[in-house]
């Protein structure tokens, strides 16, 4: 199980990035005292840590892939809030899209994950 991913975000983009992940179903959680400078979000035991950096690294085509608990509603919510959502091919018979989070990170949303291979 992947517990968390940490992504670098410019200080000016942290709040907008947190709001983006909230639209996907994440909620803010309190980080440990030593990590208060970061913004943590969690959904169903998986966390996204937004790490405020003056000159963030945003890998391309690197991305975060998440299963949306209600795919259609999540995609609609992102679009309603002004995010461009690009449909992608169905590799395992399930719809998926890519959106760009504030700060530039690519986020893939899937209706369902592929079957485990092991």
Quote the pLDDT of residue 91: 87
pLDDT of residue 105: 97
* Whether residue 102 has pLDDT greater than 90: yes
- Model confidence at 50: pLDDT above 90: yes
Specify the pLDDT at position 1.
Answer: 83
In SS3 terms, the chain reads as CCCEEEEEECHHHHHHHHHHHHHCCCEEECCCHHHCCCEEEEECCEEEEEEECCCCCCCCCCEEEEECCCHHHHHHHHHHCCCCEEEECCCCCCCEEEEECCCCCEEEEECCCCCCCC
Q: Write down the pTM of the prediction.
A: 0.95
């Amino acid at each position: 199980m992947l517990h968390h991913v940490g992504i670098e975000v410019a200080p000016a983009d942290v709040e907008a990035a947190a709001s983006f992940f909230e639209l996907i179903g994440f909620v803010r959680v309190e980080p440990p005292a030593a990590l208060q400078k970061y913004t943590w979000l969690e959904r169903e035991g998986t966390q996204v840590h937004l790490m405020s950096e003056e000159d963030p690294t945003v890998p391309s085509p690197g991305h975060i892939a998440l299963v949306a608990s209600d795919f259609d509603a999540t995609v609609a919510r992102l679009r309603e809030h002004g995010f461009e959502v690009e449909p992608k091919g169905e590799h395992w018979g399930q719809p998926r899209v890519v959106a760009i989070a504030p700060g530039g990170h690519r986020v893939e949303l899937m209706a369902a994950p592929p079957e485990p291979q092991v």
